[in-house]
Amino acid sequence: MTLPIPSGTRDVLPDEMRELRAIGDALRGVFEDAGYGEVSTPALEYESVLSKGDLTGARPAYRVVDDHGDVLVLRSDMTVPIARVVASRYATAEPPLRFWYLAHAYRQVRPRRGMSRELLQVGIELVGAPAPDGTAEALTVLCRGLTAVGLQEFKVGLGDASLYPTALEELGLADDARSRILHELATHDFVGVERELIAAGLDRDTAQGLLALAQRRGGAEVLEAVPSAAAEAVAGLRDVHALLPADVAEHVIFDLGLVRDLGYYTGAVFEVYDPALGVPLGGGGRYDDLLGRFGRPLPAVGFALVVDRLHLALNGGERR
């Protein structure tokens, strides 16, 4: 008899499990060596607690009402639960705090290659380490972890979540015009970005300059000659880059138009790409305001990788 399981979930049998376990073990070695300690938190949390974090983009999709009438949700990522742990269990601990996890998160996505509704994530959170040093440490752990897993050709795209919003603000654009432009950028519609820049009343040259800014990506050369409105964020990226060891820096590319789905990012953001897979392996960034919403204002940075995608990339994926 074949009994069904929900769409977007799956069973993992021993042959695959051994390979997934090897990926987790390789990462655990790197994380533990770098001083990170493993944490586990409940898959179910109070909605009222998790919603203190900005959950735009990863709103919990599965809810149940418990026997007291409280709404419980299945966590949609690990960053917000770890922010809760830091505020409630490490309220007076001396920062920096270093945590890593290997845990499932739950999202109501359209199931497809590398995208399941029950998503096994592995990652770190570095709490109380401001930019640029904290960011450089997270990137270093990330690249050494991916190398330990056995990936060689991966690239980490590095951008800044505040870069584009600040650039638009400096031009004095109205709130609604800014949010329309940022919406087009977040949905990766550059035709729409151009249309909204012109609709906002910018002259053609300024609009073209901003459109080009959103698409600047590549080596250190993309940090040269940026518009003054983006200068501060770019200076921050340079500071991070200067701190990276050579074996890490060789994997980093800059991406001035990089935006992430999650709403809580404040500064540097990054995304991991492998030529063998059409979707990013994972990503992360700085979330300097999130901990404050849980009552322990500390700067923080972290990343999450999707274990299934690391596995697909290791197996060569669909290309080459």
Partner 1 sequence: MTPPLTIAVPRGALMRETLDLLDTLGIDTAEVRANDRKLLFADIGIVTMRPSDVPTYVEAGAADIGITGKDVLIEQSEREVYELLDLGYGFCRMVIATVDGPNPMDEALRRLGIVRVATKYLKTASRYFERTGRQAEIVEVKGSVELAPLTGLAEAIVDLTATGTTMRENGLVEREHLFDSTARLIANPVAHKLKAAAIDDLVARLRALEPTGAS
Stretch of residues binding partner 1 (CB under 8 A), selected from 55-63, 141-149, 187-195, 290-298? 187-195
Q: To the nearest whole angstrom, how small is the minimum distance from the Cβ of residue 12 to partner 1?
A: 22
CA distances from 108 to 6, 76, 116, 180 (A): 11, 9, 8, 25
Q: To the nearest whole angstrom, how small is the minimum distance from the Cβ of residue 277 to partner 1?
A: 7
Q: Does 275 bind partner 1 (CB under 8 A)?
A: yes
Select from 277, 290, 304, 305 the one that contacts partner 1 (CB under 8 A): 277
Q: Does 54 bind partner 1 (CB under 8 A)?
A: no
Residues between 72 and 111 with contacts to partner 1, criterion CB under 8 A: 110
Q: Which residue, 296, 265, 305, 306, is CA-closest to 127?
A: 296
Indicate the residue among 22 and 198 with the shorter CB distance to partner 1. 198
Q: Which residue, 316, 309, 276, is CA-closest to 115?
A: 309
CA distances from 175 to 20, 105, 165, 166, 170 (A): 46, 34, 10, 12, 12
Q: To the nearest whole angstrom, how small is the minimum distance from the Cβ of residue 280 to partner 1?
A: 7
Indicate the residue among 189 and 203 with the shorter CB distance to partner 1. 189
SS3 state at 221: helix
Q: Does 274 bind partner 1 (CB under 8 A)?
A: yes
Q: Does 183 bind partner 1 (CB under 8 A)?
A: no
Residue 95 DSSP class: S
Q: Which residue, 226, 201, 263, 228, is CA-closest to 59?
A: 263
Q: Does 317 bind partner 1 (CB under 8 A)?
A: yes
Q: Does 318 bind partner 1 (CB under 8 A)?
A: yes
Residues in contact with partner 1, total (CB under 8 A)?
28
Residue 94 DSSP class: P
User: Whose structure tokens read 């995608």?
Assistant: 309
CA distances from 133 to 86, 105, 140, 141, 309 (A): 20, 28, 10, 12, 28
Q: Does 205 bind partner 1 (CB under 8 A)?
A: no
In contact, 125 and 10? CB cutoff 8 Å: no
Q: Does 250 bind partner 1 (CB under 8 A)?
A: no
Q: Does 164 bind partner 1 (CB under 8 A)?
A: no
In contact, 112 and 100? CB cutoff 8 Å: no
Task: Write phi, then psi, for 148 (nearest 5 degrees).
Answer: -65, -30
Select from 6, 215, 245, 247 the one that contacts partner 1 (CB under 8 A): 215
SS3 state at 215: coil
Q: To the nearest whole angstrom, how small is the minimum distance from the Cβ of residue 195 to partner 1?
A: 7
Stretch of residues binding partner 1 (CB under 8 A), selected from 83-91, 160-168, 171-179, 192-200? 192-200
Indicate the residue among 9 and 215 with the shorter CB distance to partner 1. 215
Per-residue buried b or exposed e for 162-195, using 16+ beta carbons within 10 Å of the residue's own CB: bbbbbbbeebebeeebbebbbebbbeeeeeebbe
Stretch of residues binding partner 1 (CB under 8 A), selected from 13-21, 97-105, 294-302, 312-320? 312-320
Q: Does 308 bind partner 1 (CB under 8 A)?
A: no
Q: Does 236 bind partner 1 (CB under 8 A)?
A: no
Binding site for partner 1 (CB under 8 A): 110, 112-113, 155, 157, 188-192, 194-195, 215, 217-218, 253, 255, 271, 273-275, 277-280, 317-319
